[in-house]
Amino acid sequence: MMDMRNLNMLKKTIPWVIIVLLAVFPLLSPDIFFLSIGVILFMYIALGSSWNIIGGYAGYLSFGHAAFLGIGAYVVALMLINYGISPFITCLLGGLLAALFAWIVGFPVLRLKGPYFSLATLCLGLAVPVIVINLPASIYGGATGLFMPLLPVDIFVNRTIFYEIMLALAVVTTLISRWILQSKFGLGLKSIRENESTAETIGINSTRLKTMAFVLSAFLVGIIGGIYAYYRTYIHPTTVFDTNLSIQIVLMALFGGATTWQGPVIGAAILVIIDQVLITAFPGAPAEISRLVYGLILVLVIMFMPHGIMHYILNWLKSRQLEAEDQEVQKSC
């Protein structure tokens, strides 16, 4: 029994130890390359955890989350360029506008289910950049994009700042996502994923819950988009509204296990690292080789662990625990 408690303590402390270690990592003055990987990794963790609220828990696979990311990015850039307000404040406004947008488009698209919802959100993600390109270029940058002034610090400090902020965002979104999964809200979303009309017959207002999940998810992604824009300092409709980005978020969450809160974290960590390792592993070879291997790994996981890595691991752990319990019950009988 004592072992069990120690094990649980260990399970609770290890993630926090890792987070603290990651937070103090820049003090070692590492190569900027590693800080950049950190920023991207944390961003994908944060995006995946936010996406998971609607895509994983409720099972509404959105392929258009880049739309929310881009809205956040554009709000931040416009506020900085025109009014000189710091992105670290206006990113909240970006989140709110993304949420508002999600609320409005949610009315029609959340009525669709399964692949129809995915297609509708995919189209949404494609439509928004077209709108932005056609807005008056003098204000919105049009096809030239927008340049933002750099933070007045040297490049290492700059990277460190964004590294720490993205780490914080990753931690916060993961905590939110974990809290939701264990709450009444999360249970409701899960029942919608399992069977929406059955869920309705036991008192669940599925439209309201789905909308809440979609809006919250968009809000978080909008904030991340704002920070990402300031990190890039140059934004263009094709970079911040990139459909590849939307797909990448979905892949990472599914790869890790979208029904769990750990899934997007594990998925993003493994895929970002594999991606980087592959790119550096075949230095002379054409870039396609690393993409091929990356794709192969994805296919293998989807074939053999269709519910993602974490789902697989958690079920295995749980079945072991339940077996042990059942055995104890049998002994006492």
Partner 1 sequence: MLEGKNITKRFGGLCALSDLSFKVEKNEIVGLIGPNGSGKTTLFNVISGLYKPDEGSLFLKETNITKCKPYEIAKMGLGRTFQIVQPFEEMTLLENVAIGALYASGEQNIKRAKEKAMEILQFVKLKHNPLHLASELALPDRKRLEVARALAIDPDIILLDEVFAGLNETEVNEAIDLIFRMREVKGITVFMVEHVLSAIMKTCSRVIVLDYGQKLAEGTPREVSQNARVIEAYLGGTVCSN
302 binds partner 1 (CB under 8 A): no
Length of the chain as a residue count = 333
By CB under 8 A, is residue 8 in contact with partner 1? no
Under the binding rule (CB under 8 A), the answer on residue 317 touching partner 1 is: no
Residues 6+ apart with CB under 8 A from 275: 290, 294
How far is 233 from 59, CA to CA, in rounded Å?
A: 34
Strand partners of residue 72:
none
Beta pairing class for 234-235 and 146-147:
antiparallel
Which residues lie below 8 Å from residue 128, measured CB to CB, with a gap of 6+? 67, 70, 71, 241
- Distance (Å, whole) CA 91 – CA 68: 12
Measure the CA angle with vertex 256, ends 255 and 258; round to 5°. Answer: 90
Query: Going along the chain, which residue ranges are E strands?
Result: 146-147, 234-235
Q: Nearer Cβ to partner 1, position 273 or 317?
A: 317
Residue 17 binds to partner 1 (criterion: CB under 8 A): no
Phi, psi of 282 (to 5 degrees): -115, 75
- Name the segment binding partner 1 (CB under 8 A); options: 29-37, 153-161, 194-202, 244-252: 194-202
Using CB under 8 A as the binding rule, whether residue 323 contacts partner 1 is answered as no
204 vs 270 by CB, closer to partner 1: 204
Least distance (Å) between residue 171 CB and partner 1: 24
Considering only 187, 247, 293, 302, the residue that binds partner 1 (CB under 8 A) is 187
The site map against partner 1 for 108-147 (x = CB under 8 A) is ----------------------------------------
Rule CB under 8 A: which of 240-259 touch partner 1?
259
CB of 325 to partner 1, least distance (A): 8
Q: Is 205 in the site for partner 1 (CB under 8 A)?
A: yes
CB nearer to partner 1: give 269 or 313: 313
How far apart CA 219 and CA 53 sit, in angstroms, is 11
Q: Give bridge partners of residue 234 from the DSSP assignment.
A: 147
- DSSP labels, 80-113: HHHH---HHHHHHHHHHHHHHHHHHHHHHHTTS-
* Per rule CB under 8 A, count of chain residues that contact partner 1: 24
Alpha-carbon span 35 to 266, nearest angstrom? 19
Shortest CB 314 distance to partner 1, Å = 11
DSSP letter, residue 323: H
Residue 52 is a binding residue for partner 1 (CB under 8 A): no
- Among the listed residues 134, 195, 280, 327, the single contact to partner 1 using CB under 8 A: 195
Tell me the window of 126-134, 214-222, 273-281, 319-327 that interacts with partner 1 (CB under 8 A).
319-327
327 near partner 1, judged by CB under 8 A: no
What letter does residue 62 receive in the DSSP assignment? -
The yes or no reply on residue 84 touching partner 1 (CB under 8 A) is no
Tokens, residue 219:
């809000």
C-alpha distances out from residue 82 to 79, 138, 185, 199, Å? 5, 11, 39, 48
Site string for partner 1, 159-178 (x = CB under 8 A): --------------------
Nearer to partner 1, 137 or 325 (CB): 325
Interaction between residue 200 and partner 1 (CB under 8 A): yes
Which of 144, 182, 244, 280 binds partner 1 (CB under 8 A)? It is 182
Which residue, 181 or 227, is less far from partner 1 as judged by CB?
A: 181
Per CB under 8 A, 326 contacts partner 1: yes
d(CA 55, CA 283): 36
Residues at the interface with partner 1 (CB under 8 A): 182-184, 187-188, 190-191, 193-195, 197-206, 259, 322, 325-326
